[in-house]
Structure 1
Amino acid sequence: MKRTNALLAEAGLLAVAAVDAAFNQPTGILAIGAAVLAVAALVLRRRLPVPVFVLTLPALALVGSVIATLIALYVVAARYSNRYLLTACGTLAAAGYFFPGMDYQYPRADLVLTGIYATMTAAAPIFFGRLVHARQELALRLADIRQAREHERELDAQAILAKERNQLAREMHDVVSHQVSLIAVQAGALGVSTTDPGVKAAAENVRQLSVDTLDELRHMVNLLRASGSRTTGLTPQPTLSDLDRLVAGSGIEARLTGAAPEGIDTAVQRTIYRTIQEALTNVRKHAPGGTATIELAHDDTDLTVTVTNTPPTRPTLALPSARHGLVGIQERAALLGGTVAATPTPDGGFRLRLRLPLTGHRR
């Protein structure tokens, strides 16, 4: 249905331009050819707006065909924001009124009236095109703001959950580990002081179990501190196999290059995924219209993830940010012995680099 409506609208515009050209009754091969060229060129106005506008000027000057030029000028104004380009196109369109094709309606003796009419007629499609362009930009910015606010709400929820889990981790560490440590110390002392082989073996067994319990407790505390997302432990966590889907659904033009080594821990994979996810979110939020390149590289000791984005091509807004995302990936990297660096690029873009050691993080 939409395609049919678009085709009907296209045919209607071409018909109006053709009727306008025919109404001016072009005579001579040159004038007729200019009128036909102006109407036919409108088919390509969305792909080549400036060349199409230029091709409509001969019909304006020789025949007085106005509609084709105004349609092309509107498309140029809706596409481009360069004021010099728009001023030049508007001047050319207004100048066309002083050529022979308009003599029948506006005599040369009345140059002031002709100039006022020409200026107003040329300015109207430019203003209308800029209005449509501003409306489209506003719709995009509102969509970005909604996504940014939703992202901020998710980050706030994650921060609250992380605070609760950190509190639980501190309680486990301060209370449980203290009691288990006392058990291990007393079992060790009993094993040293007794001469009974059975008691010595039992004491050593209790001491070893206490040490193993402390190691498991330390691991659980690290997991609680690392976890701050709204998903639960029962929800499947993202891995490197989900990166292609993440990049494809990011809503920006992004390219993924390189690969991670085989057999790395799921914790490392999850940290890589969350880092790229946060970087792409920041690109969409702070560099609208920019593109991103994600590069995975590794050597014998380190794994590096670099996300680089180009400068924004659309106006940016000062959106609210609590920087929870960057803090979160820095904490994730620190738990794995890695580092995160975020720096601007010389061309006005931004680069986020995650470096993780591979030693001890392979299966």
Structure 2
Amino acid sequence: MSTEGLSIGIPVGGQATDRARARSGSRWQVLLRRDNVVPLAIDAVAVLLAVADVWLVIPDKAPPYSIYLSAFACLALVGRRWLPFAVVLGTVPGFLTGWSQLAAMIALGMLATRKQTHWQVWVGAALVWACRFIQWPLSDFTTLSWREHVLDGLYGILVAGMPIAIGLLIGARAQLSQKLVELAASRDRERKLHDDAVRAEERARLAREMHDVVSHDITLIAMQAGVLATTPGSESAQETAKVIRQLSTRTLEELRSLVGVLRSGAADDGPHPGIGELTQLVRGCEVPVQLTVDSVPEQLPAKVSAAAYRTVQECLTNVRKHAPGAAATVLILGDGDALNIEVCNESPSAPVTPLPSGGHGLTGLAERARLLGGSFETTPTDDGGFRVRASYPVRG
């Protein structure tokens, strides 16, 4: 068996520039996301509408202070998502002494959307109503008739009530959407708990069956092999009995470990054989094997190491069952990103004894490779043998 170390080099040349470009690109992606673009567009439209409203109704000879206050009210809408109550207060002077009515209504609507029935909403509504009810300058307000006061009061209720109604409706819709999301998440959790319970019950049933049937039979095999090994007879028979007892004992230990995994529901219940035990596996498999291990990383992931061991173990077991007398070659090669395994055997040189086989071994290896993100394939060879190739990623 030949083994070489593997050195992994990490290029450092343009990585800093690449990372800077990646961060810059990620910032643009965050800024251009729909969740960010849509609110910004709505804010821009709100400011433009408020400015247009002031520009269309402002008289030619308006006092400068009223123009400045109205412009300030329109620009204050930019901060309505962060300081809604302060923005409402900022629009009051422009609405009272100027013409920023739409700006005040937009600010009040955002306040109602965010705060719902908070006291700030009612204070803002009272201020907006007062700005619409009171005429500026106050000298003009005192000259109005009682009918005009009543009409201004009713119109003020509409001006202050409509934004609040829309804001409450939007807030209620958002709360309902949040409740639906929470309900869906709760149903998902309940479904997951139910699935976990079903799987736990199935694991417990499988553990009982394996312990009551398989473990019992293997124990009897080990006991019978022990008796046969101590019975006087030919040395080959005693050696075979010892091998049977060793294999039965090891299988029983692994079966008990597997039963523990099934009962606990854990993904792993202790150490498993890895690539370091391949030499011992090859020596005890009773198959002529040429093992070559080349460029395997020193720090190999535990799952990949166990997968490599199980792949070679299953392949050598199949050679012993289905190709008696055939020699096998095992090649394990690391290329930096993956661990490649190839097991190839010749055609059988002895009569094949039919043994029970469900074909689940190779299927399990293929599933293991898929779960680890690797590949698995089997092909017959031209000389009547069989070849198995598997690849398991060793990074990420």
Q: Which residue of 2 aligns with 1:131?
A: 169
Q: What amino acid sits opposite 2:246 in the alignment?
A: Q
Note the residue ranges of structure 1 that are not aligned, 5 or more in a row. Answer: 230-261, 268-363
Q: Which residue of 1 aligns with 2:341?
A: none
Cα 1:14/1:205, change in 2 over 3 Å: closer
Cα 1:263/1:48, change in 2 over 3 Å: farther
Cα 1:58/1:40, change in 2 over 3 Å: same
Distance of 2:41 and 2:244 partners within structure 1 = 85
1:126 Cα offset (Å): 1.6
Selected match of 1:32 from 67, 87, 96: 67
Q: Which residue of 2 aligns with 1:183?
A: 221
1:72 Cα offset (Å): 0.7
Cα 1:124/1:30, change in 2 over 3 Å: same
Distance of 2:219 and 2:39 partners within structure 1 = 76
Distance of 2:186 and 2:301 partners within structure 1 = 32
Selected match of 2:184 from 129, 146, 157: 146
1:73 Cα offset (Å): 0.7
1:227 Cα offset (Å): 5.6
Identity between Structure 1 and Structure 2 (%): 34
Distance of 1:31 and 1:162 partners within structure 2 = 74
Selected match of 2:129 from 94, 100, 112: 94
Q: Is the 8 A contact 1:49 1:76 kept in 2?
A: yes
How do residues 22-171 of structure 1 correspond to structure 2 at under 5 angstroms? 22=55, 23-25=57-59, 27-81=62-116, 83-101=118-136, 107=144, 109=146, 114-171=152-209
1:178 Cα offset (Å): 0.9
Which of 1 and 2 has greater Rg? 2
Q: Is the 8 A contact 1:98 1:108 kept in 2?
A: no
TM-score, normalization by structure 2 = 0.49
Cα 1:4/1:139, change in 2 over 3 Å: closer
Cα 1:52/1:266, change in 2 over 3 Å: farther
Cα 1:11/1:265, change in 2 over 3 Å: closer
What is the number of equivalent residue pairs in this alignment?
Answer: 234
Distance of 1:53 and 1:92 partners within structure 2 = 9
Selected match of 1:173 from 190, 211, 214: 211
Kindly provide the CA deviation profile for residues 127-152 of structure 1, in whole angstroms up to 9, marking residues without a partner as x.
21121122123223323433443454
Q: What amino acid sits opposite 1:207 in the alignment?
A: R
Kindly provide the CA deviation profile for residues 33-64 of structure 1, in whole angstroms up to 9, marking residues without a partner as x.
11111122223333443332221110111125
1:156 Cα offset (Å): 3.4
Q: Which residue of 1 aligns with 2:7?
A: none
Kindly provide the CA deviation profile for residues 309-348 of structure 1, in whole angstroms up to 9, marking residues without a partner as x.
xxxxxxxxxxxxxxxxxxxxxxxxxxxxxxxxxxxxxxxx
Distance of 2:247 and 2:164 partners within structure 1 = 80
Q: Which residue of 1 aligns with 2:54?
A: 21
Cα 1:105/1:120, change in 2 over 3 Å: farther
Q: Secondary structure at the match of 1:142?
A: helix
RMSD: 3.9
Alignment of 1:206 onto 2:205: no
Note the residue ranges of structure 2 that are not aligned, 5 or more in a row. Answer: 1-33, 268-298, 305-396
Q: Is the 8 A contact 1:61 1:102 kept in 2?
A: no
TM-score, normalization by structure 1 = 0.52
Kindly provide the CA deviation profile for residues 92-114 of structure 1, in whole angstroms up to 9, marking residues without a partner as x.
22232354438668938565654
Cα 1:166/1:7, change in 2 over 3 Å: closer
1:177 Cα offset (Å): 0.5
Cα 1:185/1:47, change in 2 over 3 Å: same
Cα 1:178/1:9, change in 2 over 3 Å: closer
1:125 Cα offset (Å): 0.9
1:212 Cα offset (Å): 0.7
